[in-house]
Structure 1
Amino acid sequence: MNDYQIFELGDFTLQHGATLRGAKLAYQTYGTLAADRGNAVVYPTWYSGRHWDNEWLIGPGMALDPERYFIIVPNMLGNGLSSSPSNTPPPYDRARFPRVTVYDNVAAQHRLVTERFGIERLRLVTGWSMGAGQTYQWAVSHPDMVERIAPFCGSSRTSPHNKVFLEGVKAAITADAAFAGGWYREQPTTGLRAAARVYAGWGFSQAFYWDHLYRSLGYSSLEDFLVGFWEGFFLDGRDANNLLTMLWTWQNADVGLTPGFDGDTVAALRSIRARALVMPAEKDLYFPPEDEEWAVRHIPDAELRVIPGVWGHFAGHGSNPDDTRFIDAALRELLAA
């Protein structure tokens, strides 16, 4: 998990005007870059995820096979490995860490891809959840560079309903007195545990809970799942300010805010030249299929392919082998096209 590399961004000016001095982008690569640099794939991380959390979709014999492709997994700004509230020196440390957009993340990743590796074309950009949002952004920011995109369980623009859900997560963290306005010395664990329980009602579908499918993950009861999986998830090396930084990025995600589009999301989607295979999950409560059906209508060369089943948003987490096979098969088909 500690095996990763750092790309020095230097003085990195963000979309909202702040400059992170000595900014860093953490990343990991899988496979070998071809001599013609034509086998590169970018696979960004998701809300609170780190590069190793993406490895379930990478491996021998899979679509993202390191024997065939050079897979770059950049860590999001704010995730604790790349520049984040938890690792940035004053004055932009902790509660003073600046606002970061999806556009900023992709701008940093583009520098990594072009400056570190000299890559001019990407065979594929793909990602889950916030990684899907970055996937859309790649296609809008760099339409001549990205050949294919496969965003799954994510969106090009955060919906109002999604923003409301995230307000609940934010409120749970900040309501803990130990949070101290973001200037805590120890993690506000009561707030993090509360946020985990808010999240628990959204990550998986109603049918998942009705069928007690948490038992297939090794949890003996509903309470065991809430504590063992969800609270454990939020307490596993995750920092409250980091979570709030990425939450703001998520809430304010919209490819229409890319410079040159003046907030016009439809125009931004129409500018995409990549072949797109968009995969929402059938019962995702964050990013329902009808939202992505709207996006697909505006992308010139796009297909909507719904991941069937009851695992909701976590169909894209690698938790369920059936969903993993579905996503892997779709990526294989897209890469062969």
Structure 2
Amino acid sequence: MDYEIFDLGDVTLQSGVTLPSAFLAYKTYGRLNERKDNVIVYPTAFGDQHVQNEWLIGNGMALDPREYFIIVPNLLGNGLSSSPTNTPPPFDKASFPQVTIYDNVKLQHRLVTEKFGIQKIALVVGWSMGGIQAFQWGASYPDMVERIAPFAGIAKPWPHTFVVLDSLKASLLAAAHFDSSKLNQLTSADMRAVGRVYAGWGLSHAFYREELYRELGFDSLEDFVAGVWEDSFMKMDPHNVLAMLWTGQHADISANPSYNGDFHKALKSIKAQACIMPGSTDLFCSADDNKYEANLIPNAVFKPIESIWGHFAGRGLNNADNQFIDDNLKHLLALSTNG
């Protein structure tokens, strides 16, 4: 096991349901300094685990483990932290309770403060649903978080984003004939259709038109869709996926007691220096939505990743995109804060 477990005990979620013996799986890179002010929190995205974040961590990079103490907490529902697949009855499989991004960040805050005694975070960074956690950290703990850098991630699922996530969910529910009593019969094989649906959203029109999948070693469109999308989704458990989709669809940073649904107030309350990096051709976490959000955050810069890799401009697959993200993170970390 290349990660650690932080036991949370019985946790009362935002829904009011108590999840017994909850836990966060996390991995750290680098060492915490004596002042405990060299901390970067880098949450995982939908379907990802800490390993998928490691492309952005390395010597000489912005997230340099020789300089920073980098904590990668795994999203609840991803199979490593408390999830439908590792929670005993009566909360297993389709009975796993609904978990919000607010819940995730609140529990990550416990990890950071209770386990490590950290009071200041230099940066919270993340891709996609990791990005929304970065926004949530900034809104939930404005005096603790000095910088945030969401890339290809938005501060709430705008209506179109919600519909895209709903299409992924529907393709899975169709395998159970939309009968909620049959959800526990779903298997990983039923994830094949979900992968096919996501294939159209994860990358841009231009990516497919220019056949960039050939750069990834695939000779045909069919080989690419089967070899990447079907394959990666069929490795995921359908109940974990349904749990994470619910989290994504209800991931508004203002949907909590601090802001009572006032989205503008939540964004304006973020004190952190913010670098917002959408993919310029992202089809479902759109640059326009991010621009709207960035305009409401007092100390935000808007830096689109000019790329035809769509949502996956933030996934560590294309060198030019990776360099752009890393350069902007270096610039952000060099900024002084009032903290």
TM-score over 0.5 (shorter chain): yes
| Corresponding residue for residue 134 of structure 1 | 133
1:187 aligned residue: 187
Alignment-mate amino acid for residue 67 of structure 1: R
Q: Is the 8 A contact 1:141 1:258 kept in 2?
A: no
Task: Give 1:258 deviation, angstroms.
Answer: 2.5
Q: What is the distance in 1 between the residues matched to 2:211 and 2:140? A: 42
* Aligned twin of 1:60: 59
Deviation at 1:153, TM superposition (A): 0.2
Structure 1 position 209 matched with structure 2 position 211: no
Contact 1:173 1:188 (C-alpha < 8 Å) held by counterparts: no
Alignment check: 8 A CA contact 1:95 1:181 kept = no
Counterpart in the other structure of 2:97:
98
Q: Which residue of 2 aligns with 1:124?
A: 123
2:31 paired residue number: 32
Partner Cα distance (1:234, 1:260) in 2: 35
Aligned to 1:251: 249
Q: What is the distance in 2 between the residues matched to 1:71 and 1:268?
A: 26
The 8 Å contact of residues 27 and 74 in structure 1, kept in 2 or not, is answered as yes
Which runs of structure 2 are paired with 1:268-283 in the superposition (5 Å)?
268-283=266-281
Is the partner of 2:254 in helix, strand or coil?
Answer: helix
| 1:218 counterpart letter in structure 2 | G
Aligned equivalents of 2:70 and 2:258: distance in 1? Answer: 30
What is the Cα-based RMSD across aligned positions, in Å? 1.1
User: Matches of 1:182 and 1:80 in 2, distance apart?
Assistant: 18
CA deviation string 1:240-277 (max 9, x = no partner): 01001010110111111131211000000011110000
Is 1:12 aligned with 2:5?
no
Deviations 1:38-82 (CA, angstroms, capped at 9, x unpaired): 100000000010000000000111000001100000000000000
Q: Which residue of 1 aligns with 2:300?
A: 302
- Whether the 8 Å CA contact 1:39–1:123 is kept in 2: the answer is yes
Q: Tell me the equivalent position of 2:156.
A: 157
Give, in whole Å, the separation in 2 of the partners of 1:142 and 1:256: 13
Give the Å deviation of 1:182: 2.3
1:111 counterpart = 2:110: yes
Task: Give me the TM-score of the superposition, normalised by structure 2.
Answer: 0.96
5 Å-filtered alignment, 1:75-86, equals: 75-86=74-85
Distance 1:177 1:122 in 2: 44
Letter in 2 for 1:212: E
Residue 168 of structure 1, CA deviation: 1.1
Superposition map of 1:288-327 within 5 A:
288-327=286-325
Structure 2 distance, partners of 1:10, 1:219, is 46
3-state DSSP class of the match of 2:295? helix
Match of 1:175, SS state, is: helix
Instruction: Supply the AA of the counterpart residue of 2:295.
Output: R
Q: Distance in 2 between matches of 1:69 and 1:79?
A: 25
After alignment, is 257-266 or 113-122 more displaced?
A: 257-266
Alpha-carbon shift at residue 188 of structure 1 (Å): 4.3
Q: Secondary structure at the match of 1:25?
A: strand
- 2:167 corresponds in structure 1 to 168
Q: Distance in 2 between matches of 1:247 and 1:120?
A: 31
Q: Find the aligned partners of 2:314 and 2:224 in 1 and give their Cα distance.
A: 19
Report if the CA contact (8 A) 2:5-2:25 is conserved: yes
Quote how far apart the aligned CAs of 1:183 are: 1.3
User: Which 4+ stretches in 1 moved above 3 angstroms?
Assistant: 177-180
Structure 1: tracts of 5 or more residues without a match: none
Query: What TM-score, normalized by structure 1, do the two folds share?
Result: 0.97
2:334 counterpart residue number: 336
* Letter in structure 2 aligned against 1:181: K
Q: Residue 219 of structure 2 aligns with which residue?
A: 220
Query: Once the two structures are aligned, what percentage of the paired residues are identical?
Result: 54
CA shift, 1:155, in A, is 0.5
Is the contact made by 2:176 and 2:183 (CA closer than 8 Å) also made in structure 1? Answer: no
Matched letter for residue 205 of structure 1: S
Q: SS of the residue aligned with 2:8?
A: strand
> Distance between the aligned counterparts of 1:181 and 1:261, measured in 2?
37
Post-superposition shift, 1:187? Answer: 1.7
Deviations 1:286-307 (A, max 9, x none): 1111101100111111010000
In structure 1, give the amino acid aligned to 2:146. E
